[in-house]
Structure 1
Amino acid sequence: MSISSSAQIGHHCLIESGAMIGAHVRIGPFCTIAAGVDIGDGTVVGSHSVINGLTRLGRDNMIGPYSSIGEVNQDLKYANEATGVVIGDRNRIGKHATIHRGTLQGNGHTVIGHDNHFLNDVHIGHDCLIGDATVMGDHSGLAGHVNIDEGAQLGLMCAVHQFCIVGAHAQIADQSCVVQDVPPFVCAIGNRAFPFGFNRLSPVFLAANIHQQQVIRTLYDRMYHQGIPVEEVKKAARQLASEYPLVAFFHAFFSRSTRGIIR
């Protein structure tokens, strides 16, 4: 066990031998930190939280009270293998969060990037891959093996089916259920989720020049207004990706999409 001298540990915490607690970490009372957990500098863990498994937290994260991170997942094939959770820097995770460890059949780790904002009562299932600067609203949940790409936003009480991809800078409306892949910049709503426009308010879209914005609009029109086969849209995205950086999000999305896209 290694606990920095500058760390602040609340009353009645249980920190097992083998845990690593970085500088200026603050852990609230009644927390349990298991052996194999590594908490980076400046991270704050709210009271009554449990961090388990081979979990690595980066710097300056904020974990809300009563959260469970790195606990055994709900995959029935899981047999207590050495898997874990990797969380980057500057993430804000609300109270009552549950983030499950990965499986050997998946990535081995559930991975969360940097600068994400997850509100209260979110659930992130095993082997999920979450990029940077995403948002998940209250009571939203991800099944196992879900990919949420950078800048994507999920409203409150959303559900995403296992193995789905929510593309970069896509936006999922409140109380929606996603059962197929959502392309980048697409707005989706409903149960089951369907497209209702593109995310023209995305900061990345607004910062792009008029030519890139028009290309995104054209790709959306081809997918949803002109009835062009998806394979042709994929080909166009592949050809345009080197010239237009935003189109690279589409090319990366199509290269991984296996469940079909929302229609």
Structure 2
Amino acid sequence: MTKIHPTAIVDPKAQIDASVEIGAYSVIGPNVVIGARTVIGPHVVIDGHTTIGCDNRFFQFSSIGGAPQDKKYAGEPTRLEIGDRNLVREFCTFNVGTVQDVGVTRLGNDNWIMAYVHLAHDCQVGNHTIFANNAQLAGHVEVGDWVILGGFSNVHQFCKIGPHAMLGMSTSLTQDVPPFVILNGNPAAAHGVNTEGLKRRGFSREHIGTIRNAYKLIYKSGLTLEEAKQALAAEEGKVADGADSLKLMREFLETTTRGIVR
């Protein structure tokens, strides 16, 4: 049977797998779905149209699936979707989406979310990310796979952060971040490629070299952004290892709407 503490309040309409654990004084709303082996700690509130996958763990005092902090929100049945194997530490707040965007806030799989992190409405977060303490996302932010956000970093609404990028502690981000790039500061400034992270994830020396050369084209060559995109496209057919990463960087530059930190 589901291990529900007697002081927890679970709406009978909620869909809770039999292997789920729910701690003392937690509150689960009627439109919540929780998958197998997920552990909900004490004093956690999960509300809204929220779907949570398998093998997640939520520590105490988090608020999950609450209404968005958006004056236009009028109670529409928007959603929050959380994948599998995520760890969510104390005092995190994840809000549902809004009808002005896709209507759903998403957190993927295998993410490590530390204390006091805020995921605002309509954010789309990928897999294998790390959000250090007090990392904050405004609404409509997109975060790619393997991104790391340092403690107290904050991201302006509608920004995009490409896969494998990294924000240092207390970074204030108001523009998009291309894949693989390290940023720091307020205002944010680029400081090279996330080389150490790529090594840990099994990227070859040659592949990393290709990415570093691409970074130089964007940031060190004096090319305009349009010229840098053309240079990246020309390089894609020349490299033996890393053409897919060059394509990823070029396509990111082609789709940015806020411009990149440069």
Give the TM-score, by structure 1 length. Answer: 0.93
Amino acid in the other structure paired with 2:244: P
1:178 to 162, 167, 173: 173
Partners of 1:30 and 1:87 in 2: CA distance: 22
Instruction: Pick from 70, 73, 76 the counterpart of residue 71 of structure 2.
Output: 76
Q: Is the 8 A contact 2:198 2:208 kept in 1?
A: no
Equivalent residue, structure 2, for 1:216: 211
Contact 2:217 2:231 (8 Å CA) reproduced? no
**Other-structure match for 1:113:** 108
Aligned ranges for residues 195-214 of structure 1 at < 5 Å?
195-203=190-198, 207-214=202-209
CA deviations over 1:196-241 (Å, ceiling 9, x no partner): 1111112368623344222211111011111111122223445656
In 2, Cα distance between equivalents of 1:222 and 1:106: 34
Residue 98 and residue 246 in structure 1: after superposition, are their counterparts in 2 closer, same or farther (change >3 A)?
same
- Alpha-carbon separation, structure 2, partners of 1:117 and 1:135: 5
Count of matched residue positions in the alignment of Structure 1 and Structure 2: 258
Offset of residue 244 of structure 1: 1.7
Distance 2:54 2:201 in 1: 30
- Answering whether residue 249 of structure 2 is matched by residue 250 of structure 1, we say yes
Query: 5+ unaligned residues in a row in structure 2: which ranges?
Result: none
Is the contact between residue 200 and residue 206 of structure 1 (CA under 8 Å) also seen in structure 2? Answer: no
Distance 1:12 1:63 in 2: 17
**In structure 2, how many angstroms separate the alpha carbons of the residues matched to 1:252 and 1:65?**
40
Match in the other structure for 2:98: 103
Partner of 1:8: 3
User: What TM-score do you get using the length of structure 2 for normalisation?
Assistant: 0.93
Correspondence 1:260 to 2:259: yes
Answering whether residue 32 of structure 2 is matched by residue 37 of structure 1, we say: yes
2:83 maps to which residue?
88
Residue of structure 1 in register with 2:143 after alignment: 148
Rounded Cα–Cα distance in structure 2 between residues aligned with 1:238 and 1:69? 42
1:55 aligns with 2:50: yes
Distance apart, 1:77 and its partner CA? 1.0
Post-superposition shift, 1:68?
A: 0.5
1:241 touches 1:251 (CA, 8 Å); kept in 2?
A: no
Matched, 1:26 2:21: yes
Q: Return the letter of the residue paired with 2:82.
A: I
CA distance in 2, matches of 1:205, 1:246: 16
> Is the CA contact 1:54–1:83 (under 8 Å) kept in the aligned structure 2?
yes
Identical counterparts, % of pairs: 37
SS of the counterpart of 2:190? strand
Deviations 1:37-93 (A, max 9, x none): 000001011111111111000000011111001100011111100101000000011
Measured at CA, do residues 255 and 108 of structure 1 come closer, stay the same or move farther in structure 2, by a change above 3 Å? farther
For structure 1, which runs of at least 5 residues remain unmatched after alignment? Answer: none
* 1:93–1:256 Cα change, 3 Å: farther
Question: Amino acid of the residue matched to residue 18 of structure 2?
Answer: A
Counterpart amino acid of residue 12 in structure 2: S
Judge conservation of contact 1:188–1:195 (CA < 8 Å) in 2: yes
- Residues 231 and 95 from structure 1, CA distance in 2 versus in 1: closer, same or farther, beyond 3 angstroms? same
> Which amino acid counterpart does residue 226 of structure 1 have in structure 2?
S
> CA separation in 1, counterparts of 2:58 and 2:236?
37
Structure 2 counterpart of 1:57, which letter? I
Q: How far 1:24 sits from its partner (Å)?
A: 1.4
